[in-house]
């Protein structure tokens, strides 16, 4: 499991770092609309200003390359780590650090470009800061049916998965059917598709960017950009749906961890391919309308570090990003403040999850008899099985031969705990330390328990007590 975690993290993080570098750091800056989040102006390309911009771009771009290379090398080294807790902690910390580091040269470049702009006394057009004068919010490019269709098909797939797990549809007979693992995976990807659906409509309603005094030029420019966004989200939804179908087929007829890894990597490659296609088309759009730009809006100071939009006069929540792909929130908006607070709490939550996993893996599992009952205890989890409820028990000597499918609870390289299907029997409670091969099966009227301890002696003592009852 830890090996798969490392491969998944590597295949996600490394391409993303290089996408950030290619998209964020301008090499041929004279052809770009933005330089580190500052609007590119004719003044930057004239006289002594041009060499200064050249130096800023060269220096910050070089730093970004080194960060991307370092991130790739360290990610490869992290693949050598073993152990779920160690891997999870290392990857969580490194991903947060790598994403922060990737944008540091951008922030510094933004500060230098704003300083240069101030030094040159450069100003752009003011007054046209929120909407196109005659096409305010009216340009739309997304045809709803294109994105609703894969979403509806995805919902049908989830329903089919539920019916298969409930064994209403006898499609296949294997240990996966009935574990609700198929339902969980399809529902997870369906939720991803719903997120893409929402984002598609949000992006289609971004404000129109003003580049010209000609409203027709503005309308065509914004329609082309929004269509590019729409096409990317529609493609992503179909890729997502295609993966759901492939995943269902593999679960039912050829389930294996290796197949899962191959499919997931293919899924990520296709999604990144869609993003790459979006980037290429966006570059063509910017090149096509470069000569049409007759208005340079002076709103650079509304973007903190070139990344965070803060404009109390703008009542909209969502705006298109100045850096990267997609949108961001207006931090001055009340909901924008809540969003940023939620993002901060999410980071804290991720760190807390790593700590929790570490505590789970480091704390021994206990199995003992107390007050005429078998007690399974670890941290705050405790199963208490009174003797008068036990109808039978047996001792197993090779945990590795048990066939377990988790329904809910914890499944780690070192331990299993929660509700499982064991040997095709549903409704089982599991409390097992994988380093201990022996285990006790305890049967009650309502359920079956598979339990052991981090200490094999405790397992033997509990079984002897049960044998005497």
Predicted confidence (pLDDT) per residue in 252-265, tens digit: 776 666 676 777 77
28 within some domain: no
Listed ranges 203-212, 262-271, 303-312, 412-421; the one with the highest mean pLDDT: 303-312
Can you tell me the mean pLDDT for 257-282? Answer: 80
State which of 295, 313, 340 marks the end of a domain.
295
Residue 292 clears pLDDT 70, i.e. is over it: yes
| Of 275, 300, 214, 238, nearest in space to 37 by CA | 300
- pLDDT confidence band for 382 (50 / 70 / 90): confident
Q: Answer yes or no: are the C-beta atoms of 265 and 7 closer than 8 Å.
A: yes
Q: Are 374 and 273 in the same domain?
A: no
| Of 149, 265, 156, 157, nearest in space to 196 by CA | 149
User: ∠ CA(101), CA(105), CA(110), 5° rounding?
Assistant: 130
308 within some domain: no
Q: Domain span at residue 419?
A: 366-467
Q: Are 281 and 370 in the same domain?
A: no
Cα(432)–Cα(417) distance, integer angstroms = 6
Cα(416)–Cα(178) distance, integer angstroms = 19
- Predicted pLDDT at 84: 66
Q: Are 283 and 388 in the same domain?
A: no
- Predicted pLDDT at 177: 66
Burial class (CB in 10 A: 0-12, 13-18, 19+), 46: exposed
Number of domains the chain is built from: 2
> Which tens digit of pLDDT belongs to each residue from 294-303?
666 677 888 8
| Largest Cα–Cα separation, the chain | 95
282 within some domain: yes
Q: Are 143 and 254 in the same domain?
A: yes
> Which tens digit of pLDDT belongs to each residue from 63-84?
999 999 999 999 999 888 876 6
175 within some domain: yes
- Tokens representing 194 are 């719903």
Residue 446 clears pLDDT 90, i.e. is over it: no
CB atoms within 10 A of CB 377: 18
State which of 240, 267, 295 marks the end of a domain.
295
Which helix (H) or strand (E) element contains residue 107?
Answer: helix 84-120
29 within some domain: no
Cα(300)–Cα(117) distance, integer angstroms = 10
pTM of the model: 0.65
Q: Are 270 and 392 in the same domain?
A: no
Q: Answer yes or no: are the C-beta atoms of 252 and 171 closer than 8 Å.
A: yes
How does strand 425-433 pair with strand 448-451?
Answer: parallel
């Amino acid at each position: 499991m830890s090996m798969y975690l490392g491969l998944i993290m590597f295949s996600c993080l490394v391409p993303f770092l290089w996408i950030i570098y290619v998209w964020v750091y301008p090499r041929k800056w004279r052809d770009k609309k933005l330089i580190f989040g500052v609007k590119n102006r004719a003044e930057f390309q004239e006289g002594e200003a041009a060499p200064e911009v050249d130096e800023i771009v060269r220096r910050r771009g070089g730093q970004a390359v080194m960060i991307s290379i370092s991130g790739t090398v360290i990610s490869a080294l992290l693949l050598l780590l073993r152990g779920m807790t160690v891997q999870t902690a290392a990857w969580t910390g490194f991903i947060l650090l790598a994403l922060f580091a990737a944008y540091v040269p951008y922030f510094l470049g933004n500060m230098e470009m704003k300083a240069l702009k101030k030094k040159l006394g450069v100003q752009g057009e003011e007054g046209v800061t929120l909407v196109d004068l005659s096409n305010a919010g009216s340009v739309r490019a997304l045809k709803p049916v294109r994105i609703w269709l894969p979403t509806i098909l995805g919902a049908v797939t989830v329903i089919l998965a539920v019916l298969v797990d409930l064994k209403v549809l006898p499609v296949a007979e294997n240990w996966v059917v009935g574990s609700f693992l198929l339902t969980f995976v399809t529902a997870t990807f369906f939720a991803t598709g719903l997120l893409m659906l929402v984002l598609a409509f949000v992006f289609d309603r971004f404000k129109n960017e003003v580049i010209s005094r000609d409203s027709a030029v503005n309308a065509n420019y914004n329609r082309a950009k929004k269509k590019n966004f729409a096409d990317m989200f529609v493609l992503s939804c179909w890729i997502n749906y295609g993966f759901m179908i492939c995943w269902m087929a593999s679960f039912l007829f050829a389930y294996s961890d290796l197949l899962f890894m191959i499919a997931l990597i293919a899924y990520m490659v296709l999604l990144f391919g869609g993003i790459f296609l979006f980037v290429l088309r966006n570059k063509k759009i910017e090149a096509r309308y470069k000569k049409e730009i007759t208005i340079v809006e002076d709103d650079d100071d509304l973007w903190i570090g070139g990344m965070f939009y803060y404009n109390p006069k703008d009542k909209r929540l969502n705006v298109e990003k100045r850096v990267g792909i997609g949108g961001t929130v207006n931090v001055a908006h009340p909901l924008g403040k809540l969003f940023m607070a939620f993002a901060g709490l999410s980071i804290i939550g991720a760190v807390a999850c790593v700590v929790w996993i570490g505590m789970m893996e480091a704390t021994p599992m206990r199995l003992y008899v107390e007050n005429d009952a078998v007690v399974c205890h670890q941290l705050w989890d405790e199963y208490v099985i009174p003797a008068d409820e036990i109808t039978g028990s047996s001792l197993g000597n090779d945990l590795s031969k048990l066939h377990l499918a988790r329904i809910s609870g914890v499944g780690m390289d070192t331990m299993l705990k929660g509700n499982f299907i064991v040997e095709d029997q549903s409704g089982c409670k599991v409390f097992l330390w994988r380093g201990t091969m022996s285990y006790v099966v305890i049967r009650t009227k309502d359920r079956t328990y598979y339990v052991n301890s981090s200490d094999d002696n405790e397992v033997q003592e509990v079984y002897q007590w049960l044998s005497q009852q």
